[in-house]
Amino acid sequence: MEMVREHRKYVVPEIITGDDARIYAGRYASNFHSNTVLLATDESIFRQKWMREILQGLDEAGTEYVVFSDIEENPPRDYNVMAGADVYLSEECTGILAIGGGSVLDCAKGIGIVAANGGTILDYVGVDQVRNPMPPLICVPTTAGSAADVSQYAVIRNADKKAKNIIISKSLVPDVSLLDTVPLMTQPKDVTVNSGIDALTHAIEAYVSNGASHLSDMMALESITLSAGFFPFSVDRADDPDSRFQSLMASMYAGIAFSNAGLGLIHAMSHAIGGLYDLPPMELPVQS
Ligand SMILES: [Fe+2]
């Protein structure tokens, strides 16, 4: 592995991994002095049985929550972010708990930016345009691909221009990511495959990026090794907790790698095409 001696920055959130890691959401909300959190999620996820332990944890921590689930996908629309920021401010929230896939996590980041900085979310498109730090952000990802829960990236759709816009800032690194196998078991099978390909692409693009460093290379290579262990994806293995956890770790390693090293041509093309045609980051035909 080549050592890069040019200057490199490397940021990661606090990360807890393992079965039932989600139960720490309440404790972290309390640690962050978030008396009321905006619970960004989607309706189907909010109805999952495993959500009960999260809500119970918030209750035990004395933290109120306000649900915001008006979030579209691939990626969240700019107006979803603005609606969420309105709820955040009007309900006087003091933190965000994001539980969902990449769109939910990106929307939560957008809400945090607008709540702390005002204006519209499109004002912050680009690199290092976010002046004030976001409110505390706790993430529980329910898919293993976007890795928004460990990255300094957010992708927001400019609805008028039909374009995926990218916001990059250290402020967007969540405070804590709770990587739990249990919510991941509810990830739909086609999403499992598309997300897995997305994660593998993150790792490869980060490894060959000009912005790579020794630290990001270690993460990228570990991610590729893990992905190789469960490729080619079999939808039959989607119910195996060990495979799911492995895919979650592969996604996390790839996310840390690309968050710090940057991405490449495949994502540049997928953002342009996906923005125009409203498509997910990566998509493969899935046979069930
Ligand atoms: Fe991606």
Domain boundary among 142, 159, 183: 183
Binned at pLDDT 50, 70 and 90, residue 1 comes out as confident
- Which range has the worst mean pLDDT, 100-104, 169-173, 278-282, 283-287? 283-287
More confident position, 105 or 228: 105
Q: Is residue 287 part of a domain?
A: no
Binned at pLDDT 50, 70 and 90, residue 4 comes out as confident
Domain count, the chain: 2
Distance 52 CA to ligand 1 centre (A): 30
Say if strands 36-40 and 64-68 run parallel, antiparallel, or are unpaired: parallel
Q: Is residue 167 part of a domain?
A: yes
Q: Is residue 4 part of a domain?
A: no
Are 59 and 175 found together in one domain? yes
Distance 192 CA to ligand 1 centre (A): 13
Q: Is residue 283 part of a domain?
A: no
Distance 255 CA to ligand 1 centre (A): 9
The confidence score (pLDDT) of residue 233 equals 58
If DSSP states are collapsed to H, E and C, what string results for 21-68?
HHHHHHHHHHHCCCCEEEEECCHHHHCCCCHHHHHHHHHHCCCEEEEE
Q: pLDDT tens-digit profile of 177-224?
A: 999 999 999 888 788 888 889 999 999 999 999 999 999 999 999 999
Are 124 and 233 found together in one domain? no
Are 76 and 168 found together in one domain? yes
Distance 261 CA to ligand 1 centre (A): 13
The whole-number average pLDDT for the span 279-284 is 66
Distance 61 CA to ligand 1 centre (A): 35
Distance 35 CA to ligand 1 centre (A): 33
Distance 280 CA to ligand 1 centre (A): 9
Are 178 and 240 found together in one domain? no
The confidence score (pLDDT) of residue 284 equals 56
Domain around 139: 14-183
Are 198 and 169 found together in one domain? no
Distance 2 CA to ligand 1 centre (A): 25
Q: Which residue has the tokens 């332990």?
A: 53
Distance 263 CA to ligand 1 centre (A): 9
Distance 185 CA to ligand 1 centre (A): 20
Q: Give the CATH number of the domain where residue 259 resides.
A: 1.20.1090.10
The confidence score (pLDDT) of residue 134 equals 96
Distance 36 CA to ligand 1 centre (A): 31
Q: Would the pLDDT of 170 be above 60?
A: yes
Say if strands 126-127 and 96-100 run parallel, antiparallel, or are unpaired: unpaired
Distance 56 CA to ligand 1 centre (A): 33
Q: Give the CATH number of the domain where residue 72 resides.
A: 3.40.50.1970
Q: Would the pLDDT of 82 be above 60?
A: yes
Distance 89 CA to ligand 1 centre (A): 30
Are 126 and 202 found together in one domain? no
Q: Would the pLDDT of 283 be above 70?
A: no
Are 269 and 143 found together in one domain? no
Report d(CA 275, CA 75) in Å as an integer: 9
Are 40 and 86 found together in one domain? yes
Domain boundary among 183, 205, 237: 183
Binned at pLDDT 50, 70 and 90, residue 278 comes out as confident
Binned at pLDDT 50, 70 and 90, residue 288 comes out as very low
Distance 234 CA to ligand 1 centre (A): 20
Domain boundary among 125, 150, 183: 183
Q: Is residue 174 part of a domain?
A: yes
Distance 160 CA to ligand 1 centre (A): 22
Average pLDDT, the chain: 92
Distance 155 CA to ligand 1 centre (A): 10
Distance 67 CA to ligand 1 centre (A): 27
Are 155 and 210 found together in one domain? no
Distance 194 CA to ligand 1 centre (A): 10
